[in-house]
Chains A and B, each alone.
Chain A
Amino acid sequence: MSLSVNVSLETADEYSVQEITYDGQEKYTQPLSMSENLTKLAQRIDFSRVNNYDDTEPEKSDTVAEEKETLQSAVWPWESVRNKLKSALTELCVLLDDMNVAKDKRYLVLDPVSQEPSEFKPLTALVARKKALAASAAIIQNGVEFLKSHQNDATRSRAMDFHSELMTIRQNWRMKKVGNTILGDLSYRSVGSRYPHPGSFEVTKAPTPQPITSPSNVPSPRASSLKVTVASDLEGVSYIHVNNDTLASGDLSIPLPPVAVSSLESSWQQKLENAQNVLFCKELFAQLAREAVQLQLPIPTLVIGNQIIATLFPGVQLSIGLCHTTVPNKKTTEKQQQTPSRNEHKPVLEHSLHQLLREIHYNSLHHPMPHPATATLGISRKMYFAGPEAYDRHTLMEACKSETMLEQIISQSQHVVLRLRTMYMIDTLACEIKDPLIIAHWLCLNSATKSSVKINIVSYGYESQSRTPLVIHVGVKNIKAICRDGRTFHMSYESQELRYLIMSQVSQHQINAIQALSKLMGWKVLSHNVNCGVGPVEMIGTASSIVLASPNGDRMIAVRHGPQSGAQVSISLSPHEQDFYPSTLVKDRKWQNINGGFKEVMWEKIEGKNLVSKIEYLMACLTNF
């Protein structure tokens, strides 16, 4: 290859002849400059050929012709290129518009043009329409079947359909329709409550239960078609736990009655009642807690968590707790069984709490008459008289004073504690003191803060002879006793005081009974003293004494009875000795008739059931006819 020769090619150095004039002169064309050459080459590009469109082929000749034209009349070298691009742009725009029109279908619908129009056959059309009609009929039939089956299901599967149950629930609860939902009202607002909890529940249709494939003889529990949804904080069971114990207990265990737990998931009625009860308990507790914070007692009340602790008497506390269980799980019940509730629930006090709150509700709606249009509504009856009667400030203050619920429940529980103490005390005394019988009759007519008991002290076997009645009024913090002779004793809450009183009454009763017996036996009462000053000093009260003489005066019995020391009986005889031996001092027998010194009787040896019968025995022995 090294031998190869480089061949250079170059254009001939002569210009092409444009024309030859008649005189033989040759005119040469001017050579093209570089730019002119480029223009010329560019003009040769056939744009339509690049596109490879078949349909552009026939136009080729035109284009060429045009090209020639433009070539000749080219004012500006790039004009033809520009013209071509412009026409291309125009065509593209048109194409785009066409496509838009075809796509939007607003003005134009593209339909394939059938090449060969099918011939119209009426029978085919009829068959086709019949088919279409049959299909439509089937659809409608299906719809009808669906509706029928739906209705049948509703009537067959449930004895109570949704609407009957809705009617039942409507007759029992307040309800309204909001939009598509049915809302009910659990709150006590319509009876005067001002608790802000909305307390609403929603009634929906329960989902259709699966058909139970149980044998027909077993009656399956009727499924309710109503579903009641209450607010989550109202679910479950709750109650107010009230107790008074001597210790401040810690957290409250919740000993729920098993019945309440089992009935959690029963009917909607039960569920709503439970929810309403929860709401009521919450309101009650909220009210009590508010009062407990505001109340100013010498020993302040404590509010800890769900518990309010108030002191009733020294060492005795009242605790009010709000118990609420949502899910009856096994753990809590087991726990309760392990720790038996050391503080028993007081249902009576719980009931009075409920009553108190209901009274507040009632009072907030029922204002005392009259209701003049000019006066403020809701002021008390006393306030109406304040103006006409010209009350002073003190009276007004007194009139405005009203007991809060907590104060009322505290006084009620104080009364309960005091009453129980009194009852226990009387029963213990009745057991301890066998000789005169202590018979207590509790009166059935009493209020929440006042009750009374009638005590009869009688000697067994001599009930008609002598009876010492005693009436005891048990109040809130004190006890009042009214004795047989009309004396009234006021005592504090310490039941020991009552014990002393009854014991001294017993002692006096014995002496009174002996006095009554002496009348019957014909003995003479020489002295009767209820406050005997002689003998050993009694620990409590004073001893009583009586001295009796036999009908013919030769025997004397002296009885001294102290509340604690008991009976002490002495006798003296006249003549004191049967045989007379004259001595240097007493020379005559007549001096024997003077009563001798008192000798104490060995009381245990005397026969008889009680003191009075023993005295009777003694009297019978000593009487000479």
Chain B
Amino acid sequence: MTLNQETTLKSYKKHLKDDIKSILDNFVEILKLVKVDLNENSHNYLNSSRIQENYEMNVRAANICRAAQSISKLIYSIKQFIIINDFPLINEAISNKTSYFKVNEIDNKLITLRDEISSELFDLEEDFYSSIIK
């Protein structure tokens, strides 16, 4: 595995961790926001701050969605990465194909075919040149 591939894998790992962390953090934050504090100072609790909290929750929910999509994208690119760097599978495919095409068998058949055709051709030539119509 080359250095480049290792860095790619590391970046995938980091990506995954970041996304999971983002989902978790946002979820926790939403739960925190939901809590109604009875001892809340009425002066601090204004209409505007309520709107702000509402908005924050929405944004955090959207963040969770974004992180989930980002993970699905990550899965997509990991799949690509695996497919492209899966050399054992490719080797197997190549050897399968080689055995599938059966080069030697085909060669032998072709040689047999050639022999048969040439012997037939000999007779045909004999007949052709002996006939009146040429």
Contact residues of A with B, CB < 8 Å? 114, 117-120, 122, 125-126, 128-129, 131-133, 135-137, 139-140, 142-144, 146-147, 150, 163, 166-167, 170-171, 175-177, 180, 182, 427, 430-431, 434, 437-444, 460
Q: Are B61 and A136 in contact (CB-based, < 8 A)?
A: yes
CB distance from A359 to the nearest CB of B (A): 17
Task: Please measure, in the bound complex, the distance between the C-alpha atom of A131 and the C-alpha atom of B89, giving whole angstroms.
Answer: 53
Task: Please measure, in the bound complex, the distance between the C-alpha atom of A120 and the C-alpha atom of B42, giving whole angstroms.
Answer: 5
What are 29 A-B pairs at a CB distance below 8 A? A120-B40, A129-B33, A132-B33, A133-B34, A133-B57, A135-B57, A135-B61, A136-B58, A136-B60, A136-B61, A137-B61, A140-B61, A146-B69, A147-B69, A150-B72, A166-B80, A170-B83, A170-B86, A171-B89, A171-B93, A171-B97, A177-B81, A177-B85, A430-B129, A430-B134, A440-B125, A443-B118, A444-B114, A444-B118
Residues of B within 8 A of A136 (CB): 30, 57-58, 60-61
B59-81 interface bits toward A, Cβ cutoff 8 Å, 1 = contact, 0 = none: 01110110011001000010111
Q: Are A163 and B61 in contact (CB-based, < 8 A)?
A: no
CB distance from B6 to the nearest CB of A (A): 14
- With A125-B36, A170-B83, A437-B130 known as contacts, the answer to whether A132 contacts B45 (CB < 8 A) is no
Residues of A within 8 A of B132 (CB): 434
Nearest first, the 8 A-B pairs at minimum CB distance are: A143-B65, A120-B42, A136-B61, A444-B118, A171-B93, A139-B61, A439-B129, A132-B54
B26-69 interface bits toward A, Cβ cutoff 8 Å, 1 = contact, 0 = none: 00001001101010111101110010011001101110110011
**Cβ 8 A contact of B45, one of A125, A430, A431, A442:** A125
Contact residues of B with A, CB < 8 Å? 8, 30, 33-34, 36, 38, 40-43, 45-47, 50, 53-54, 57-58, 60-62, 64-65, 68-69, 72, 77, 79-81, 83-86, 89-90, 93-94, 97, 114-115, 117-118, 121-122, 125-126, 129-130, 132, 134
**Cβ 8 A contact of A117, one of B42, B84, B90:** B42
Q: Are A163 and B79 in contact (CB-based, < 8 A)?
A: yes
Q: Are A182 and B80 in contact (CB-based, < 8 A)?
A: yes
CB distance from B63 to the nearest CB of A (A): 10
Task: Please measure, in the bound complex, the distance between the C-alpha atom of A133 and the C-alpha atom of B27, giving whole angstroms.
Answer: 11
Task: Please measure, in the bound complex, the distance between the C-alpha atom of A131 and the C-alpha atom of B30, giving whole angstroms.
Answer: 13
Residues of B within 8 A of A175 (CB): 84
Give the A-B pair count, Cβ closer than 8 A.
118
Task: Please measure, in the bound complex, the distance between the C-alpha atom of A180 and the C-alpha atom of B74, giving whole angstroms.
Answer: 12
Q: Are B64 and A143 in contact (CB-based, < 8 A)?
A: yes
CB distance from A458 to the nearest CB of B (A): 8
Residues of B within 8 A of A176 (CB): 84
Q: Are A132 and B130 in contact (CB-based, < 8 A)?
A: no
Residues of B within 8 A of A460 (CB): 130
- With A135-B54, A171-B89, A439-B125 known as contacts, the answer to whether A118 contacts B60 (CB < 8 A) is no
CB distance from B24 to the nearest CB of A (A): 14
Q: Are A177 and B65 in contact (CB-based, < 8 A)?
A: no
- With A118-B46, A177-B84 known as contacts, the answer to whether A126 contacts B36 (CB < 8 A) is yes
- With A132-B53, A166-B83 known as contacts, the answer to whether A438 contacts B45 (CB < 8 A) is no
Task: Please measure, in the bound complex, the distance between the C-alpha atom of A443 and the C-alpha atom of B47, giving whole angstroms.
Answer: 103
- With A136-B30, A167-B83 known as contacts, the answer to whether A439 contacts B65 (CB < 8 A) is no
- With A147-B72, A177-B80 known as contacts, the answer to whether A119 contacts B42 (CB < 8 A) is yes
Task: Please measure, in the bound complex, the distance between the C-alpha atom of A147 and the C-alpha atom of B71, giving whole angstroms.
Answer: 11
CB distance from B23 to the nearest CB of A (A): 10
Q: Are B45 and A129 in contact (CB-based, < 8 A)?
A: no
Query: Apart from A117-B43, A133-B57, A139-B58, what 14 extra A-B contacts exist at CB < 8 Å?
Result: A128-B54, A129-B36, A129-B53, A132-B58, A133-B30, A133-B34, A136-B61, A139-B65, A143-B68, A176-B84, A177-B8, A434-B132, A439-B125, A444-B118
Task: Please measure, in the bound complex, the distance between the C-alpha atom of A131 and the C-alpha atom of B33, giving whole angstroms.
Answer: 12
Q: Are B125 and A143 in contact (CB-based, < 8 A)?
A: no
Task: Please measure, in the bound complex, the distance between the C-alpha atom of A131 and the C-alpha atom of B72, giving whole angstroms.
Answer: 29
CB distance from A182 to the nearest CB of B (A): 7
